[in-house]
Amino acid sequence: MILIEQVLGNVKDAVWKQRMDAARIDWLVLDQWEAQKNRLRKRTSKDLELAVALDRNTHLHDGDILVWDEAESSIVVVKTELKPVMVIDLEKVMAQSPELVLRTCFELGHALGNQHWPAVVKGNKVFVPLTIDQKVMSSVMRTHDFAGVTFEFMPGSDVIPYLAPHEARRLFGGAEPASHAHADHAPPHTHSHN
């Protein structure tokens, strides 16, 4: 077993991209639940046992490098398998009158709560994990036709860097049918459109 206490880098870094081209890659595949943890024990796709023990309030990201063996030219890379996330943008709503902002946010909260969709609010964005078919979630949003509200679906791995560990647990750990909505605050930057 190999103890992992820190990440060596990420495949997005130029130096690791070069090393990966010639390396034998072994994947540590993490699901919805595992991706939000800072401590876990798991085998890679090539059966290498790892014990991950990262600092508190940190977690692994897609593409993180955990092991590099230069002599063997082998590398262990994290692959997260997170469900997509609906990102609801309220920026245009926030520019409206306080009465309209209140009404729209209340009606949106009621609609999301009625569906039992978990949610995390950060600034002008609401993140809702895919708990049912994307077409159904789109249909619910279009049926309500909230003035000034736009939405899009993004890969969960693109959203998780904007989240604190407790928010990731709420968003991805609660992405089961019959979960209830949650809220937290502080803005990331995403591009939203219908």
pLDDT tens track for 44-54: 999 999 999 99
> CA-CA distance, 50 to 66, in Å (whole number)?
9
The reported pLDDT for the residue numbered 166 is 81
CATH 2.60.260.20 boundaries in the chain: 2-80
Q: What is the pLDDT of residue 41?
A: 97
Q: Where in the chain is the domain with CATH 3.30.70?
A: 85-173
Q: What is the pLDDT of residue 6?
A: 95
Position with higher pLDDT, 118 vs 188: 118
Q: Check if the beta carbon of residue 35 is closer than 8 Å to that of residue 85.
A: no
Give counts: helices (H), strands (E), the chain: 6, 11
Would you state the pLDDT for residue 176?
Answer: 39
Mean pLDDT of 100-117: 92
Least confident of 93-97, 108-112, 131-135, 177-181: 177-181
What's residue 127's pLDDT? Answer: 95
To the question of domain 85-173 being in CATH 3.90.640, the answer is: no
The larger pLDDT score, comparing residue 170 to residue 189, is at: 170
- The CATH code of the domain at 2-80 is 2.60.260.20
What average pLDDT does range 107-117 have in this prediction?
92
* pLDDT reading at 109 higher than 50: yes
Average pLDDT estimate for 158-185: 62
Q: What pLDDT score does 184 carry?
A: 38
HEC secondary structure over 88-121: EECHHHHCCCHHHHHHHHHHHHHHHHHCCCCCEE
Long-range contact set of residues 167-170: C-beta below 8 Å, sequence gap at least 24: 167/120, 167/122, 168/35, 168/36, 168/59, 169/36, 170/118, 170/120
A 10 A CB-CB count for 190 gives 17
**So what's the pLDDT on residue 175?**
42
Separation between Cα atoms, residue 186 and residue 7, nearest integer Å:
26
Model pLDDT, residue 165: 75
- The amino acid present at 129, given as its one-letter code, is P
The string of pLDDT tens digits covering residues 118-167 is 899 999 999 998 888 999 999 999 999 999 999 999 998 888 778 887 88
